[in-house]
Structure 1
Amino acid sequence: MTTTTAPTVVHRRSGLTGQLSALGVERGGVLLVHASMRAVGRVDGGVRAVVGALRDALGARGTLVVPVFTPENSDTSPHYLDRVRGLDDREREAVRAAMPPFDPAASPAPSMGRLAETVRLSDGAVRSDHPQTSFAALGPRARDLLAGHRPDCHLGEDSPLARLHDAEAQVLLLGTGFDTCSAFHLGEYRMPAPPRRSYRCVVEAGGRRRWWEYEDVALDDGDFAALGADFARTGDGSAVRTGPVGSSVSRLFRICDAVDFAACWLASHRTGAQARTLCHAPG
């Protein structure tokens, strides 16, 4: 018996652009993107073509923003705890000693995916200065949106998320779920008296590598999938637009709606002592 394999669909930049526009990506707007290239599928031209399609849909006056977080330079992050699990004290100290300090011009963001790294490395890209939760952007508003990212404020009022909220940016979950939605973290800062915790990471100061410890809101994305599911039902489902982009099912919504909903939802679903000691976000 002869078996046949279904042909692999190859998506093209122009087709992706059309799908993004049909989904509602605004020309001349600001777009924060979380992406899974695996979900998007095979694309002629690869990840660069996907970045190109996003920029085509936004137009010359639009600005593309991506998270380029770096949990790899912290010893208080879940990434570090997973890495050293089962190691003895000497081996653990060797891991800490090998961590490079954050460099906004050069530090990679391997855990954020291929699209985010491609944007970060693109000509003309701008990156914010936070040593753990930086963002990268391309477009005419990139520098203004990413300026003033205080190193002791991951994702709050002195971060690009607040500037994106002010700009009424859109958020695109390109083949990813609400559990990846960094915009919800701004809602954590806008809860009444959010719990706080200590963070520590490697930075460079005066040409020397050093550990820096600071306090900030205790980030917790463990309930973001449930939060997102409830958010998607608001306004009879009108808050979130869903549609195909490549082979993926993608979601588009306004960051203002997401943050405002998250602040209320989190306040009613969490108690002050409920926040987890560590979260899945960089820390």
Structure 2
Amino acid sequence: MFTKIMLIDQLKESGIKQNDTLLVHSSMRAIGDVEGRADTVIDALMEYLTDGLLILPTHTWAQMGEDYLLFDPKKERACVGILPNIFMKRKNVVRSLHPTHSVAAYGNKANEYIDGDENWDTPCAKGGCWGKLYDMDAKILFIGVGMERNTFIHSVEEWVNVPNRLSDKRVPFQVKKDQNCIIERPAYRHYHPNGSTSDYYVKLQQPFLETGVIKRVKFGEASCFVGKAKEMANMTLQFLENDLDVFGHLDPIPSSWYK
């Protein structure tokens, strides 16, 4: 059984620094038995990033839609697992106001980071919380999940206007900013003619690993990856230059593009 101290030691061994900006995608089940369970995992992450910025996605794309338009960040559950749902309720954690792709943040300049996320009408805009990861030189930790959960790549595709990635029309979402203020926030949703775009991001794992963009680490029992968002984006942009629809099919990325 893993303790909080053991988990913190693994974070140290992974090369993550206490003052890093760190986004975490996670599977609690993959971590295994932890003393204190999910709360201890969140404790370890928050305590370790004492001088940094800790970010977890608190997406609501699974439930928000034409039949469910009002996003209340204080009450709406995240559709991406137990850890984000616990994290966003912790003291001094703040949540952005994007109706489908919000994040929760804790630590250094957290309020500044999430500010204005509701002003963008695409899921992962360059000027929103997902695009900011590039400019902030953030690291991304994948705990027990792979590149199919790499939401940041959605943002990279948005930067270069990859076709067939967004819905034709905006959904007339509303966002509850506070008890007395509800704003209109029409926004596009993700779209892919062949299903979920994220399913095709698994093709990034091999080139990312072979070039050192990501490396394998451990957290609890989970097999994990960690790497810099900027390096992920730069390599992905190179792939998109070669084939703008590289994530529209299952063909592997040619090794000649990155070796």
TM-score (normalizing by structure 2): 0.82
Residues 14 and 267 of structure 1, relative CA distance in 2, 3 Å threshold: same
Residues 44 and 159 of structure 1, relative CA distance in 2, 3 Å threshold: same
Aligned equivalent of 2:174 = 203
- The percent identity for this pair of structures is 23
What's the secondary structure of 1:223's corresponding residue? helix
Does the alignment pair 1:265 with 2:236? no
Report the AA paired with residue 136 of structure 1: A
User: How far 1:142 moved relative to its partner?
Assistant: 1.0
Task: Give yes or no for contact 1:131–1:201 (8 Å, CA) kept in 2.
Answer: no
Does the alignment pair 1:65 with 2:65? no
Q: Which runs of 5+ in 1 are unaligned?
A: 1-9, 76-95, 276-283
Aligned equivalent of 1:225 = 202
Aligned equivalent of 1:82 = none
What's the secondary structure of 2:218's corresponding residue? strand
Does the alignment pair 1:28 with 2:19? yes
User: How far 1:151 moved relative to its partner?
Assistant: 3.7
The one-character-per-residue Cα deviations of 1:241-278 (angstroms, maximum 9, x if unpaired) are 21221011111100101122222223434449959xxx
Does the alignment pair 1:126 with 2:94? yes
Task: Give yes or no for contact 2:200–2:247 (8 Å, CA) kept in 1.
Answer: no
Residues 243 and 176 of structure 1, relative CA distance in 2, 3 Å threshold: same
RMSD of aligned Cα (Å): 2.7
Q: Larger Cα Rg: Structure 1 or Structure 2?
A: 1
The one-character-per-residue Cα deviations of 1:62-117 (angstroms, maximum 9, x if unpaired) are 11101111120214xxxxxxxxxxxxxxxxxxxx3xx36101222111x2111111
Report the AA paired with residue 124 of structure 1: N
Q: Distance in 2 between matches of 1:227 and 1:172?
A: 15
Q: Distance in 1 between matches of 2:9 and 2:56?
A: 21
What's the secondary structure of 1:259's corresponding residue? helix
Report the AA paired with residue 26 of structure 1: K
Aligned equivalent of 1:11 = 2
Does the alignment pair 1:144 with 2:134? no
Task: Give yes or no for contact 1:200–1:211 (8 Å, CA) kept in 2.
Answer: no
Aligned equivalent of 2:255 = none
What's the secondary structure of 2:72's corresponding residue? coil
Does the alignment pair 1:49 with 2:23? no
Does the alignment pair 1:242 with 2:216? yes
Q: Which runs of 5+ in 2 are unaligned?
A: 250-259
Please, which moves more after superposition, 47-56 or 31-40? 47-56
Bigger relative contact order, structure 1 or 2 (CA pairs below 8 A, ≥6 apart): 1
Aligned equivalent of 1:112 = 80
User: How far 1:159 moved relative to its partner?
Assistant: 1.1
Report the AA paired with residue 127 of structure 1: R
Residues 51 and 68 of structure 1, relative CA distance in 2, 3 Å threshold: same
Report the AA paired with residue 142 of structure 2: L
Aligned equivalent of 1:188 = 157
Residues 16 and 208 of structure 1, relative CA distance in 2, 3 Å threshold: closer
Q: Distance in 2 between matches of 1:165 and 1:31?
A: 12
Aligned residues: 238
User: How far 1:45 moved relative to its partner?
Assistant: 1.0
